[in-house]
């Protein structure tokens, strides 16, 4: 049933062009949103910027409940609502915009594999840190997650979500891991990403139509793909979020090419759009913090 | 050089050294890297498996998950990846994540959740290798854990019923198989001519799906349409495990498998019958004692 509905939606999506009033919904930026949701939201924003599709970010306290899949972010385009990066990429592709068209089959397989790596390791590690590490849970998560709601609803929602995430961690075998092991996994993931990226500007350097002026010459443009958007979303959020300790961001900072990658994408796609001009991945003094 | 290492894992069948994907991954890696591993298949004895399987025991160290076991073997200088470049090492991690996210739910479903497969193949096979009374409980527990994992990781909205979740996970698994097939292409192994960690993981996941004879086989049929993956499994079986390969006489192997399955079912029916007879004898004895006890006041 859901597959038939999806096929129907794709047909509908293909019919209309991208409207000017597309909106991306996420939780409240300063008080409520958590590390993992912020990373996912930033990944989608980066992807839409890379496709040159305008979208405005709308912050709502109940974004999670509005979402069709229960996860943020979701986009409201025309009369359709699509959540999570995977389905959004498919939706945007149905409208005729794609970042990974020029890749061959083997490269597409590699791209999907790396996206699963980020979801499997980085996202799960973020969820673990937010919901299973007692210090972070007490000092940050419980305070932020239910903050728009009055007591006792804020605590109830928070505990309910924690219970749900802990069940999932137990099912996939992460409940028995210690924080050090999780950080080691993050390190392994960052190492893999760093090795794959190497000295290239993006993960897949496919040349696309058009030329750009670089080093006093006209050179073919290289476009990023959705993998770049996803990696940027997660790494930038990890680097710029203040948690109880710096261990997580230190793991990413060990890899200078990843920091340069985040800086490059930020400069190219977010500078000028971001009114909060003091935030920058590398500026230590003006760290954009999600903590009050 | 290294201390003797013993691997405790589920046994083999249908032409495989083990039917359990994780056990098979570890055994394959040990063969690729030349690690001298003594394999103890769990059989019907009182050393019942508790918790994780496979388990590697080396002197006093006990290690339980495939990734950790492989790390341990690498530290003992049994490394199948030393010829890989940094990028290939990174690709290994990425493809293993792809297998775990996209293929594993469907594999668990085929073995443990699909009712016909579970009742006619998986449960009798595992129950025959676990001592009574655990054989009544453990297969059910493994099945519930598999369903739990599938629902918790893939069962959220907008998929609200188990059939929708099943459809989605099988779709993802078929896509994953297609991606693996494209990545493998015409080469013998995923990275060059020597097998590595990724080959061990892919073999561990694909071989049970390829060889075990299930009544409901949609994923197996899809796999059989990808000849390079089938050839990959058969090559590893014939080169590293020296087991007969079904590629030349599929009909013959199929009848052998069918016969084996019938025999297993017969044996299980007989053991069920024996257990029922035991239970009824016990009940008879208990009833007789009860009647005797009751009749004492009457006699007096």
Rounded mean pLDDT, A123-141: 93
Per DSSP bridges, beta strands B55-58 and B61-63 are: antiparallel
Instruction: Say whether A77 sits in a helix, a strand or coil.
Output: strand
Please tell me the predicted confidence (pLDDT) of residue B98: 94
Is B184 part of the contact surface with chain A (CB cutoff 8 Å)? no
Whether the predicted pLDDT of B94 surpasses 90? yes
Rounded mean pLDDT, A28-53: 93
Please report residues of A whose CB lies closer than 8 A to that of B153.
168, 171-172
Rounded mean pLDDT, B69-93: 89
Rounded mean pLDDT, B289-299: 74
**Residue A109 corresponds to which tokens in the numbers above?**
């397989």
Whether the predicted pLDDT of B228 surpasses 90? yes
Cβ of B153 and A172 within 8 Å?
yes
Is B187 part of the contact surface with chain A (CB cutoff 8 Å)? no
Nearest Cα of chain B lies from the Cα of A281 at a distance, in angstroms, of: 25
Cβ of A189 and B93 within 8 Å?
yes
CA distance A167 to B148: 9
Burial of B137 (0-12, 13-18, 19+ CB in 10 A): exposed
Per DSSP bridges, beta strands A217-222 and B5-10 are: unpaired
Nearest Cα of chain A lies from the Cα of B162 at a distance, in angstroms, of: 12
Q: What part of B 104-143 touches A (C-beta under 8 Å)? A: none
Question: Bigger pLDDT: A65 or A2?
Answer: A65
Please tell me the predicted confidence (pLDDT) of residue A232: 95
Split at pLDDT 50, 70, 90, the class of A276 is: very low
Closest CA to A58 of A41, A82, A46, A71: A41
Please report residues of A whose CB lies closer than 8 A to that of B180.
109
Closest CA to B107 of B223, B198, B255: B223
CA distance B88 to A131: 33
Query: Which residue of B lies nearest to A107 if distances are taken between CA atoms?
Result: B183
Whether the predicted pLDDT of B222 surpasses 90? yes
Split at pLDDT 50, 70, 90, the class of A50 is: very high
Please report residues of A whose CB lies closer than 8 A to that of B147.
none
Burial of A9 (0-12, 13-18, 19+ CB in 10 A): middle
Segment A75-93, tens digit of pLDDT: 999 889 999 999 999 999 9
For the residues of A119-137, what is the DSSP string, one character each?
Answer: IIIIIHHHHHHHHT-HHHI
Is A191 part of the contact surface with chain B (CB cutoff 8 Å)? yes
Split at pLDDT 50, 70, 90, the class of B162 is: confident
Please tell me the predicted confidence (pLDDT) of residue A218: 67
Question: Bigger pLDDT: B58 or A214?
Answer: B58
Please report residues of B whose CB lies closer than 8 A to that of A199.
none
Query: Which residue of A lies nearest to B100 if distances are taken between CA atoms?
Result: A120
Verify cis geometry, omega within 30 degrees of 0, for the bond prior to B224: no
CA distance A111 to A228: 10
Closest CA to A187 of A259, A250, A240, A244: A250
CA distance A204 to A153: 46
Rounded mean pLDDT, B51-65: 82
Is the Cβ–Cβ distance between A165 and A132 less than 8 Å? yes
Question: Bigger pLDDT: A136 or A8?
Answer: A136
Beta-carbon pairs below 8 A across chains A and B: 85
Cβ of B180 and A1 within 8 Å?
no
Please enumerate in sequence order all residues whose Cβ is within 8 A of that of B89, keeping only pairs 6 or more positions apart, or say none. Answer: A192, A195, B81
Whether the predicted pLDDT of B260 surpasses 80? no
Nearest Cα of chain A lies from the Cα of B149 at a distance, in angstroms, of: 5
Split at pLDDT 50, 70, 90, the class of A113 is: very high
CA distance A251 to A246: 9
Rounded mean pLDDT, B151-157: 83
Rounded mean pLDDT, B94-114: 93
Whether the predicted pLDDT of A206 surpasses 60? yes
Residue of B67, B94, B102, B201 to mutate when probing chain A, most A C-beta within 10 A: B94
Nearest Cα of chain A lies from the Cα of B87 at a distance, in angstroms, of: 5
Query: Which residue of A lies nearest to B179 if distances are taken between CA atoms?
Result: A109
Question: Bigger pLDDT: A124 or A221?
Answer: A124
Cβ of A117 and B98 within 8 Å?
yes
Cβ of A189 and B89 within 8 Å?
no
Burial letters A148-174, b for 16+ CB under 10 A, else e: bbeeeebeebbeebbeebbebbbbeeb
Whether the predicted pLDDT of B259 surpasses 80? no
What does the DSSP 8-state code read for residue A68? T
Q: What percent of chain A has pLDDT over 70?
A: 85
Which of A2, A3, A113 comes nearest B97 by C-beta?
A113
Query: Which residue of A lies nearest to B102 if distances are taken between CA atoms?
Result: A116
Cβ of A68 and B158 within 8 Å?
yes
For residue A292, how many C-alpha atoms fall within 13 Å in the half-sphere facing its CB? 10
Please tell me the predicted confidence (pLDDT) of residue A2: 58
Is A70 part of the contact surface with chain B (CB cutoff 8 Å)? yes
Please tell me the predicted confidence (pLDDT) of residue B50: 59
Whether the predicted pLDDT of B130 surpasses 60? yes
pTM of the model: 0.83
For the residues of B69-114, what is the DSSP string, one character each?
Answer: HHHHHHHTT--TTTT--HHHHHHHHHHHHHIIIIIHHHHHIIIIIS
Which of B91, B101, B180 comes nearest A116 by C-beta?
B101
Which of A109, A120, A196 comes nearest B182 by C-beta?
A109
CA distance B151 to B171: 16
Please tell me the predicted confidence (pLDDT) of residue B45: 57
Split at pLDDT 50, 70, 90, the class of B244 is: very low
Please report residues of B whose CB lies closer than 8 A to that of A105.
182
Please tell me the predicted confidence (pLDDT) of residue B272: 67
Is the Cβ–Cβ distance between B210 and B223 less than 8 Å? yes
Split at pLDDT 50, 70, 90, the class of A208 is: low
- Mean pLDDT (chain B) is 83
Query: Which residue of B lies nearest to A64 if distances are taken between CA atoms?
Result: B157
Which of A68, A70, A196 comes nearest B87 by C-beta?
A196
Cβ of B179 and A172 within 8 Å?
no
Please tell me the predicted confidence (pLDDT) of residue A278: 35
**Helical ranges in chain B per DSSP H:** 21-33, 66-75, 86-98, 104-108, 115-117, 123-127, 134-154, 162-184, 197-211, 218-224, 227-240, 250-299
């Amino acid at each position: 049933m859901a597959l038939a509905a999806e096929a129907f939606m794709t047909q509908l999506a293909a019919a209309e062009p991208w409207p000017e009033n597309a909106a991306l919904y996420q939780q409240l930026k300063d008080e409520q949103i958590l590390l993992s949701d912020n990373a996912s939201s930033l990944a989608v924003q980066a992807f839409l910027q890379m496709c040159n599709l305008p979208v405005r970010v709308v912050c709502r306290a109940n974004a999670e409940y509005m979402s069709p899949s229960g996860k943020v972010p979701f986009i409201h385009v025309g009369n359709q609502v699509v959540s999570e990066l995977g389905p959004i990429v498919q939706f945007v592709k149905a409208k005729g915009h794609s970042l990974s068209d020029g890749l061959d089959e083997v490269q597409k397989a590699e791209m999907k594999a790396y996206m699963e790596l980020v979801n499997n390791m980085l996202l799960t590690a973020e969820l673990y840190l937010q919901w299973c590490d007692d210090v972070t849970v007490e000092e940050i998560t419980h305070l932020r997650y239910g903050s728009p709601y009055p007591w006792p609803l804020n605590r109830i929602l928070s505990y309910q979500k924690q219970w749900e995430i802990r069940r999932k961690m137990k099912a996939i075998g992460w409940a028995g891991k210690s924080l050090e092991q999780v950080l080691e996994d993050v390190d392994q993931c960052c190492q893999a990403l760093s090795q794959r990226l190497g000295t290239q500007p993006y993960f897949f350097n496919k040349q696309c139509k058009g030329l750009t002026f670089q080093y006093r010459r006209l050179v073919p443009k290289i476009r990023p793909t959705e993998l770049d958007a996803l990696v940027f979303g997660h790494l930038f959020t990890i680097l710029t979020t203040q948690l109880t300790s710096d261990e997580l961001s230190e793991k990413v900072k060990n890899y200078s090419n990843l920091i340069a990658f985040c800086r490059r994408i930020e400069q190219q796609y977010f500078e000028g759009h971001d009114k909060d001009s003091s935030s920058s991945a590398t500026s230590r003094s003006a760290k954009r913090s999600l903590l009050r | 050089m290294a201390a003797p290492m013993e691997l405790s894992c589920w046994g083999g069948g249908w032409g495989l050294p083990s039917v359990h994907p994780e056990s098979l991954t570890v055994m394959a890696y040990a063969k690729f890297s030349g690690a001298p591993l003594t394999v103890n298949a769990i059989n019907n004895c009182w050393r019942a498996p508790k918790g994780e399987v496979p388990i590697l025991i080396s002197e006093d160290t006990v290690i339980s998950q495939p990734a950790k076991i492989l790390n341990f073997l690498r530290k003992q200088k049994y490394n199948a990846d030393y010829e890989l470049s940094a990028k290939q090492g990174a690709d290994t991690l990425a493809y293993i994540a792809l297998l775990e996210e996209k293929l594993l739910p469907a594999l668990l479903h085929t073995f443990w959740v699909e009712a016909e497969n579970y009742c006619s193949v998986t449960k009798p096979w595992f129950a025959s290798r676990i001592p009574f009374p655990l054989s009544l409980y453990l297969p059910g527990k493994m099945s519930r854990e598999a369903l739990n994992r599938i629902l918790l990781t893939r069962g959220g909205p907008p998929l609200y019923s188990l059939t929708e979740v099943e459809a989605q996970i099988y779709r993802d698994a078929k896509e994953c198989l297609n991606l693996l097939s494209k990545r493998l292409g015409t080469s013998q192994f995923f990275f060059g001519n020597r097998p590595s960690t990724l080959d061990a993981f892919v073999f561990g996941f694909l071989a049970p799906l390829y060889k075990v004879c299930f009544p409901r086989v949609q994923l197996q049929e899809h796999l059989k349409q990808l000849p390079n993956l089938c050839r990959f499994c058969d090559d590893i079986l014939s080169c590293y495990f020296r087991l007969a390969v079904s590629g030349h006489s599929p009909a013959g192997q199929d009848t052998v498998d069918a016969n084996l399955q019938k025999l297993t079912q017969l044996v299980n029916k007989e053991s069920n019958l024996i257990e029922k007879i035991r239970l009824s004898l016990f009940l008879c004895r208990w009833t007789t004692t009860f009647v005797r006890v009751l009749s004492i006041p009457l006699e007096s």
